[in-house]
Structure 1
Amino acid sequence: MSLFPESFISPEVATQLAPEYILRSLKASDYHHNVLNVLKDLTTVGDISEAKFIEQCEFMHSRQGEYFMIVIEKISTGNVVAVGTLLVERKFIHECGLVGHIEDIAVAKSEQGKSLGKKIIAALDFIGQKSGCYKNILDCSPYNEQFYVKCGYSNVGFEMTKRF
């Protein structure tokens, strides 16, 4: 089960990654292919059972057009080595426009420095455009700002957080 149709995969990014890597949608079977460990390189993940992982994938699949989680799989190992998510928000402003929210960009430590993060961002930008978003936005730490500038993003404000 893929989260979204293959037509949302950027042909340009997929071609740039071939033949060493595959760009694709997250699948429920990725529980066994390192995806949670890649996310652990980003932040706290917690203890997620296979059943909970599959339940989350099924929920995201049921909300097609809203959740786009992509992965880069290393062909030689079959493992996920990079991941990113685009959430599409429906607005009233801009004539009921759509905004893409980029989240959870992570690259396995063993694969960092190979521009896979840039490829994930480019692939999510493609999805945002194909979905009809008038913009994609993201939050990041000051430490990561220059990476996102290299991906074509600009700092337009501050992130505010209230944790519960």
Structure 2
Amino acid sequence: MQMNVDPPKFNHRNRVFFRTERKNEKMENSEEQKYGVRKLEISDKSKGFIELLQQLSVCDSVSDTDFENRFRELSAVGDDHVIGVIEDEPSGKIIATGSVFIEKKFLRNCGKVGHIEDVVVDSSARGKHLGKRIISFLTEHARSMGCYKVILDCSVDNKAFYEKCGFHNKSIQMAMYFAH
């Protein structure tokens, strides 16, 4: 099932949120209407962003200075690296996130590929289609940047979720980790 979505529109100053539905389409349920996807803001560290990432993988504590430095570094590359978040407005807590970075290639007439990473929904907020909203935000961002495809790696446990989002099993992931 492919979602019919408008291209993302970002505006940090006005905090314009990206909504995955067109104006003439109804949301799957009213619960979804409460949650908009936006770009990560520097203040999101204090809203549980790092703690949310810890539900996904090893993520040591990050000092405020280190967070600010990394945030500025990623912001400097503009739309080539975007981190989307969903904030639960009543609690002020970040409850879902994911990122996409754009790889510029020589293949496919100097094409571009979007790489989706670090998708996680808070354990207390699962089942509300927030993961789909994050994935839609990230894939549409990649499309708007002119990518010819978007790819990701996932565990076997998450394969069905990504298939529901329109992804297909392509090949085998391999990795080499370095000691730090």
After superposition, the C-alpha distances for 1:21-46 in whole angstroms (9 at most, x for unaligned) are 23110011101001111111111110
User: Corresponding residue for 1:138?
Assistant: 152
Aligned to 1:44, the other structure's residue is in SS state: coil
User: Following TM superposition, by how much is the alpha carbon of 1:13 offset from its aligned partner in structure 2, in angstroms?
Assistant: 5.0
Structure 1 14/53 Cα, relative in aligned 2: closer, same or farther at 3 Å?
A: farther
State the match for 1:156 in structure 2.
Answer: 170
Q: How far apart, CA to CA, are the structure 1 residues paired with 2:118 and 2:60?
A: 15
Which ranges of structure 2 fall in alignment gaps of 5 or more residues? 1-8
TM-score w.r.t. length of structure 1: 0.91
Please give the alpha-carbon distance, in whole angstroms, between the structure 1 residues aligned to 2:138 and 2:127: 19
Question: Match for residue 86 of structure 2?
Answer: 72
Task: Provide the C-alpha distance between the structure 2 equivalents of 1:135 and 1:125, rounded to a whole number of angstroms.
Answer: 9
Structure 1 runs not aligned, ≥5 long: none
> Is 1:106 aligned to residue 120 of structure 2?
yes
2:111 paired residue number: 97
Mapped pair 1:125 → 2:139: yes
Deviation readout 1:131-160 (Å, 9 max, x if unpaired): 111100001111111110010000010001
The aligned residue for residue 3 of structure 2 is none
Question: Which residue number in structure 2 is paired with residue 6 of structure 1?
Answer: 11
C-alpha distance in 1 between matches for 2:128 and 2:22: 15
> 1:105–1:13: structure 2 CA closer, same or farther, 3 Å change rule?
farther
TM-score (norm 2): 0.83
| Higher Cα radius of gyration | 2
Instruction: Give the structure 2 partner of residue 116 of structure 1.
Output: 130
Give % identity: 34
Structure 1 or 2: more strand by fraction = 1
Q: How many residues align?
A: 160
CA spacing shift, 1:13–1:87, aligned 2, 3 Å? farther
